[in-house]
Structure 1
Amino acid sequence: MTKTAVAALAGLALLTAACGGTTSGPEQQGKPVTGGTFTFAIPADPGALDPAQGVLSVTNNVLSMAYDTLVAVDESGKIVPSLAEKWDVKPDSVTFTLRKGVTCSDGSQLTPTNVADNVNHIADPATKSPVYGVMVPVGMKAEADDAAGTVTLSMPQPFSFILESTRTMYIVCGKGVKDRASIARATSGSGPYQLTEAVPSDHYTFKVRRDYTWGPAGATAKDLPETLVMKVVPNEGTSANLLIAGSLNGALFLGPDRTRVAASPGVTKQELRTNTGQFFYHQGEDRPGHDPQVRKALTQALNLQELSAVASGGTGRPATGLVLEPRPCQGDSVTGHVPGYDAAAAAAALDAAGWKLGADGFRAKDGKRLSLRYMYATTRGSNYQASAEYMAEVWKKLGVEVKLNGVIDTKLSESLNATQDWDVVWLPIGVTLPSQLIGFLSGPSAPDGANFAHLANKRYEDLVAKAGKLSAAEACPMWLESESALFEAADLVPVVDYTALLAAKGATFRTIAGSPVATSLRLVAQ
């Protein structure tokens, strides 16, 4: 993976609005309204709108309005047809037969060559796409047969999630295929909406395509709102005010404003499980976290149940894994695999590792103080800072010096990649397949690769190598075990599964991964 991918992980984690699961979404009573404008709040500007560069969840939320994927998922998480009406899966390839009559927003026909060009463009090293290895598996190639109406995606060896990986590949068609610069602030897709106005950091306006008839499960644009506005609202308090006042039809709330939103008359709501909250230890050779005894001791010193409550403001749930719901591999990879809370054992472990407590209250070894630089994002709310302060206080009692380093998102990305100026980082992750994590949790270390924490867990590497060559069903026990191997070594420490409140007013819609499903948007009379 590229250096860009390291920054991509930071962006994916820190700006994510991604919520696990496919839900029915908030439903409101009332007569459906034809036409009109549906307005949804997004927490940050999506940036460049080329799907080959779309690493942020907020970006993909916007792209999902204008672009289709080869397959989709239903409310149970089952793969269902979308642009592809059927497929033939082999261990190292999948051949899709495309629907007939699908058109792009410029009126041109969607072809298998269009689909192949998307995959091969991302896989081309010259593109430097940050989604290569995440949304498009490393080594994937595409070959089209326009006469037969098929496109084949292949891998150099068997790959567990060769079909499932295509549910997140947005397909560019029309003029955007050859002119990628044209879709930096525009869209060129086959989806039910087309972007008509982009005002960065303010709003993105879409118009419905009434000729859209090829959505999953026969979805059409017949009853969709005429206009869709994705409004950039970084402050959740502002989103709450706008939703309660009726200026927004939908928004996600992760912070304390969710309480007053939930209590507001006329607002329907649903709780969703969001991305996982965890922290990493830097394992470079010159870092305290390089020693597994130190990592285990630092983890044992923390009451993770208390930390979970601090990190989520009391709204989280026990962490059960690293992949969002609906997971392709169901199961709990966390319970029983994280070093348990034992302050006395933590102190004894540091003593045994040579870190002795001095008269100044801090531990030292060979004349060097045990000191940690803890990095977190200041732009993700007060709970991140509260978590950092809680952990610093616990570790201080253990005799560890902790220097808190709160930074904005861009600085965090820079530190993960270039400066490597951290020892512990709080970095939530939101991915839909375990294979999407491999480059971040193994392989070349930053700044030469995406392995920002310099992890080297041979058991994890062996398990994912074996799992990747099996079918998804056969491989699931290994994928779960690979996560557990990371937790047992305290390579990273899962703390909490965040939850969010999905709220609506004057509207109804379904969600996938916290993003409104474009074909499900409906306005209702209030």
Structure 2
Amino acid sequence: MPRSRFLSGAVMAAATSLLASACTTGPAGGPSSGGDGSGGTVKIGVTSDVTSFDPAKGAGASDYVITSLLYQPLIGQDDGGTFVPGLADAWTSTPTKTSLTLKKGLTCSDGSALTASQVVASLKRYRATSAGALLTFGAANVGEKTTITGDDATGTVTITTAAPWGEVLAGLSGTGAGIICRTGLEAGAAALAQGAVKGAASGPYEMATAQRGASYELRLRKGFEAYPRFASMPEGKPADRLRIQISKNESTLANQLQTGALDLAPLTGTDSTRFTGNDTFTVMSAPFIRNFIAFNQRPGRPGADPKVRKAVAQAVSVDAFNNVFGGTGQTLTSYVDEKAACVSTDDSLLTRTDTAAAKQVLKGVSIKLEGSNAVAGGAGNSYVAEALRAAGAEVKLTNADNATWATHVTANQGDWDATVFPLISGALARGGTYFLGPEPANGGLNYGAVKNAAYAKNYVAATSTTDRHAKCAAWQKAQEALLKAHDVIPLATVDVRYVARKGVSFATPGGALTLSTLRITG
């Protein structure tokens, strides 16, 4: 599991900026037309540069957004975990074998045919070079234990794993598994990381010009029809060109929205309130960070005591935490939000705020609380610290920059007791890797040394099947075990608001802005 699934330094720098999209304005201030009924030109502003154009090496929001336009995955994943066609239009999947049939007539950005053999070569590279491949194919299926074959005559790609693993389709839908055409594979990692390689793109756009640190221009591929078929796909035409330029900050983006220089901007801060009730814009919210409290459960730490973990849950108020960020987030009932497939929504599993009960356990208990100040200066961490102090605990708050937080929490035998964990991933399997398996000293991601046998058993059951009913049943039991043991204390999301001017529409499958769905509607 790569660190990019939580707010690592690279991710946070890119993700807090997110995106802003703008159209070259015509007389009416809307998208410019190419003069042939096409979709015109759309400008996109970001506040951080791309770290790598290699889809297998993406480390931040800017990386994911651009590479998803250049390199199309075989399938997409919609709300609730539903899979939809991408480069493949049909598939079957069992715990040990997944077969996908490619759409007819697929091409690379140089016009050459995209064959099953090329897809196989791209997936083998992904398996060998991407940290995300561990969750795509399963830890028990690393390397040659996963067999990937293709048949050019039938256009089929087959993936066989030695051990049962039911998350292959979910992994193939991720940006990191985007298909790289032959010229990109031959060019090598260094060339892919620096910018688009001619003919390498399998997605709807190809790179036209690139000025690192300044701007990028992407050009729509004529005749591309392999867009993911998300349920909420808007009507309209895709933009002929996307111009991505580095901006300063969200306030600048909001100013440009108000002056008509921009048509779309995802905003994480208070600037989004400028557009509330404005008929010129629509505002859509989606989870950006899922916050929960996690514990260092190593011997001698207060978090090793289940009574202390429960008391911490009794000391904090989810609503009060949410109000720190303006009350615009979603209160959580698990470590992921309500859009996740198989998420538990049983609030009877949650511990209610009871300060009096918390005081009976926490009075005089010393707690080292770690938190990142990357969002709102760490105001959420400060609230948790004050709530614990109000319950009698002696709290030492480390409200550090994100890189320091990540280093402290992920270190072997880290010197911390509790942390407000900011999770980016909205999937149970991805987020759940932090609560089971080996500790960092042994190459694992179990930073708090959690030992919850019931959770681990049901995590394995959920990720080893492709049967939807069985998968969700196991996930319900897994989450129940985690919540009852207070290994996780759900808090609330920090949301991103997508502010769009009339004439630009897009979809947010699974809560994530997907620019391949952007359409100019007027």
User: What is the TM-score normalised by the length of structure 1?
Assistant: 0.83
Give 1:494-505 correspondences, 5 Å limit.
494-505=490-501
Contact 2:438 / 2:446 at 8 angstroms: preserved in 1?
A: yes
Dislocated runs of 4+, deviation >6 Å: 28-32, 218-222
Which residue matches 1:62?
A: 66
Alignment counterpart, residue 394 of structure 1, candidates 387, 390, 402: 387
Consecutive unaligned residues of structure 1, counting only runs of 5 or more, are 19-27, 351-356, 358-362, 364-369
Q: 1:32 and 1:451, CA in 2 relative to 1: closer, same or farther beyond 3 A?
A: same
Q: 1:309 and 1:185, CA in 2 relative to 1: closer, same or farther beyond 3 A?
A: same
Give 1:455-494 correspondences, 5 Å limit.
455-470=450-465, 471-494=467-490
Distance 2:14 2:481 in 1: 26
Q: 1:154 and 1:446, CA in 2 relative to 1: closer, same or farther beyond 3 A?
A: same
- Return the letter of the residue paired with 1:249: D
Q: 1:235 and 1:379, CA in 2 relative to 1: closer, same or farther beyond 3 A?
A: farther
Superimposed CA distance per residue, residues 384-427 of structure 1 (whole angstroms, 9 cap, x where no aligned partner)? x2222222222223332222223333333322333634332222
Residue 245 of structure 1 and its aligned partner are, at CA, apart by 2.0
Which residue matches 1:360?
A: none
Superimposed CA distance per residue, residues 55-109 of structure 1 (whole angstroms, 9 cap, x where no aligned partner)? 4344222221112111124578642221112112223211111123212223332
Distance 1:221 1:298 in 2: 48
Q: 1:141 and 1:347, CA in 2 relative to 1: closer, same or farther beyond 3 A?
A: farther
Q: 1:321 and 1:116, CA in 2 relative to 1: closer, same or farther beyond 3 A?
A: farther
Q: 1:280 and 1:41, CA in 2 relative to 1: closer, same or farther beyond 3 A?
A: farther
Q: 1:328 and 1:513, CA in 2 relative to 1: closer, same or farther beyond 3 A?
A: closer
Residue 315 of structure 1 and its aligned partner are, at CA, apart by 0.7
Q: 1:110 and 1:440, CA in 2 relative to 1: closer, same or farther beyond 3 A?
A: farther
Which residue matches 1:411?
A: 404
Q: 1:287 and 1:131, CA in 2 relative to 1: closer, same or farther beyond 3 A?
A: same
Which residue matches 1:152?
A: 158
Which residue matches 2:6?
A: 9
Q: 1:220 and 1:103, CA in 2 relative to 1: closer, same or farther beyond 3 A?
A: farther
Distance 1:424 1:200 in 2: 40
Consecutive unaligned residues of structure 2, counting only runs of 5 or more, are 17-27
Distance 1:457 1:198 in 2: 49
Q: Which has the higher contact order (CA 8 A, sep 6+)?
A: 1
- Return the letter of the residue paired with 2:195: A
Distance 2:224 2:417 in 1: 51
- Return the letter of the residue paired with 1:119: L
- Does the residue aligned with 1:80 lie in a helix, a strand or coil? strand
Which residue matches 2:122?
A: 118
Q: 1:230 and 1:458, CA in 2 relative to 1: closer, same or farther beyond 3 A?
A: farther
Contact 1:440 / 1:451 at 8 angstroms: preserved in 2?
A: yes
Which residue matches 2:25?
A: none
Q: 1:74 and 1:429, CA in 2 relative to 1: closer, same or farther beyond 3 A?
A: closer
Which residue matches 2:131?
A: 130
- Return the letter of the residue paired with 1:175: T
RMSD of equivalent CA atoms: 3.2
Which residue matches 1:238?
A: 252
Q: 1:377 and 1:40, CA in 2 relative to 1: closer, same or farther beyond 3 A?
A: farther
- Return the letter of the residue paired with 1:255: G
Asked if 1:195 corresponds to 2:207, the answer is yes
Distance 2:293 2:12 in 1: 13
Distance 2:164 2:66 in 1: 33
Asked if 1:297 corresponds to 2:298, the answer is no
- Report the more deviating stretch, 74-83 or 96-105: 74-83
Give 1:23-102 correspondences, 5 Å limit.
33=33, 34-42=38-46, 44-73=48-77, 78-102=82-106
Which residue matches 1:442?
A: 436
Alignment counterpart, residue 279 of structure 1, candidates 277, 293, 299: 293
User: What is the TM-score normalised by the length of structure 2?
Assistant: 0.84
Q: 1:58 and 1:479, CA in 2 relative to 1: closer, same or farther beyond 3 A?
A: farther
- Return the letter of the residue paired with 1:389: S
Residue 297 of structure 1 and its aligned partner are, at CA, apart by 1.5
- Return the letter of the residue paired with 2:159: L
Contact 2:336 / 2:431 at 8 angstroms: preserved in 1?
A: no
